[in-house]
Amino acid sequence: MHAIRSDDDLSRFLANGIERLRRDDPELYDLLQKEYLRQANVLTMVASSSIADPSALVCEAMPTMNVTAEGYPKARFHAGCRWIDEIEQLAIDRAKAAFGACYANVQPMSATSANEIVMFSVLEPGDTLLGLELDFGGHLTHGSKASISGQVFKAVGYGLTRDERIDYEQAERLAKEHRPKLIVCGTTAYPRQIDWARFRAIADAVGAYLLADITHIAGLVVAGLHPSPVDHAHFTTTCTHKQLYGGRGGLILIGKDFQKTGPDGKRTLAELVQKKVFPFFQGAPNQSAIAAKARGFAYVVSPEFQKVAMRIVALSNALAAAFMKKGHRVITGGTDNHIVVVDVFKRGITGVNAEKALEECGLVVNKNRIPYDVNPPTVTSGIRLGTNGLAIRQMEPGDMVECVELIDEVLAGVQQLNEREYNLDSKLRARIEGKVLELCQRRPIRTYPAPQLATRAA
Ligand SMILES: *Cc1c(COP(=O)(O)O)cnc(C)c1O
């Protein structure tokens, strides 16, 4: 008898898996195939997504999934973790290296749980936290009543100035008035740079901890195209699937404050997080997602990703300029990151109708509230676009003029019936759809099949 060993055992294992899926469950296989082709055939400008490299995607399908491994490397509550430990340690080391952090926890299942974990690390139920209001580009987890953060804690929200920039003065005033124990900065729909040092000064002035949630801009931070909060904030959180092009999940980082003691004066910030991830919030981590995260962390420090990151910013700048040239109102008059928010209500169309009409034509964007929005969250007055998915298609800034022309034509063709219903001429739809497909074919996702112009019909 001899142990199985061959370099391609794993490849054959995966190929066998996909063959069996195709043979034994054609219904599911067909749906997965459709989703794969959809991504190739539409322009995804959803700011909160990216196209993971197949080398990261495939990690999610690995037999690491079979291992239950409560605890941390070299300190598990289960046996059989020899390689699991090395994989998780590799992910931790790579995360620390990518972000220049002193501590990393790669187990959180999402950015949402990463934020909750940090909150419960330093807050008691009923304590006060200060975060950016949802309506102004903050995230649900930053104190919204719809999330645990706004129900368990007393959440106070700061907003934007009239010129749509973060109102640091208001944040400082509210901090002095409410004495929060935690201040949250970082956003989900804010196209401008964030001044981490200023937030830290506000936090220090009132003895609060600072959490920087960089979920949207993590890739730009790694690439040095947005300043890093890691040594300014006490905690930095991100997901690993929006701009890190890696596995789906969350990440908690701590910079130079990692050995600082927490509110109890005993345990360090790193120790507190460690215990709140497991066993307080989670059980056994998703080891396949951790492998995919490890792959993503290696990818984002590569010279290849540096080019992608530069393209992300160049494209969003070109996108914002093209919208403004067509007479659209772009929130803050431009962008510093991957996000462009456009006021479509000014053209008489609600965000939700714009989103639906554009998607019918293969242009995928999100409805989004704009500062001082007059429409409710399910309707909105704006659309939010992001360039992560365009940069991976190696698009050039010049292509953004074409994208905006397509979007503009659709918006001009929408006949709004009411805030949630509209008509779109079917000839216009077919024409734009064809043009989108052509553009997708000209600028294919490098690692996906080039769209076949004939296969779109369905
Ligand atoms: C998307 C987002 C989250 C939540 O991410 P999930 O991984 O989907 O839970 C948290 N914070 C910000 C700023 C986000 O944009």
Same domain, 232 and 88: yes
pLDDT band for position 247 (cuts 50, 70, 90): confident
Q: Whose CA is nearest to atom 2 of ligand 1?
A: 215
**What CATH number corresponds to the domain at position 88?**
3.40.640.10
Residue 164 has pLDDT above 60, yes or no: yes
pLDDT of residue 135: 85
Mutate to test the pocket of ligand 1, among 136, 139, 248 (most ligand atoms within 8 A of CB): 139
Mean pLDDT of 247-261: 96
The Å distance, Cα 442 to ligand 1 centre, comes to 32
Residue 457 has pLDDT above 50, yes or no: no
Same domain, 118 and 202: yes
Secondary structure in 3-state letters for the chain:
CCCCCCCCHHHHHHHHHHHHHHHHCHHHHHHHHHHHHHHHHCEECCCCCCCCCHHHHHHHHCHHHHCCCCEECCEECCCCCHHHHHHHHHHHHHHHHHHCCCEEECCCCCHHHHHHHHHHHHCCCCCEEEEECHHHCCCHHHCCCCCHHHHHCEEEEECECCCCCECHHHHHHHHHHHCCCEEEECCCCCCCCCCHHHHHHHHHHHCCEEEEECCCCHHHHHCCCCCCCCCCCCEEEEECCCCCCCCCCEEEEECCCCCCECCCCCCEHHHHHHHHHHHHHCCCCCHHHHHHHHHHHHHHCCHHHHHHHHHHHHHHHHHHHHHHHCCCEEHHHCCCCCEEEEECHHHCCCHHHHHHHHHHCCEECEEECCCCCCCCCCCCCEEEEECHHHHCCCCCHHHHHHHHHHHHHHHHHCEEEECCEEECCHHHHHHHHHHHHHHHHHCCCCCCCCCCHHHHCC
Residue 332 domain-assigned? yes
Mean pLDDT of 380-393: 97
The Å distance, Cα 30 to ligand 1 centre, comes to 29
Mean pLDDT of 339-359: 98
Same domain, 294 and 317: no
Same domain, 250 and 229: yes
Our answer on whether the CB atom of 332 is closer than 6 Å to any ligand 1 atom is no
Same domain, 211 and 325: no
Q: What is the mean pLDDT of the chain?
A: 95
Which atom of ligand 1 lies nearest, measured to the CA of 213? 13
Residue 321 has pLDDT above 90, yes or no: yes
Residue 18 domain-assigned? no
From 299, 332, 365, the end of a domain falls on: 299
Residue 455 has pLDDT above 70, yes or no: no
The range of the structural domain enclosing residue 122 comes to 65-299
Our answer on whether the CB atom of 250 is closer than 6 Å to any ligand 1 atom is yes
Mean pLDDT of 378-398: 96
Our answer on whether the CB atom of 96 is closer than 6 Å to any ligand 1 atom is no
From 299, 333, 348, the end of a domain falls on: 299
Number of domains in the chain: 2
Residue 2 domain-assigned? no
**What proportion of the chain, given as a percentage, has pLDDT over 90?**
93
The Å distance, Cα 84 to ligand 1 centre, comes to 26
Residue 45 domain-assigned? no
**What CATH number corresponds to the domain at position 309?**
3.90.1150.10
Residue 271 domain-assigned? yes
From 299, 315, 347, the end of a domain falls on: 299
pLDDT of residue 4: 57
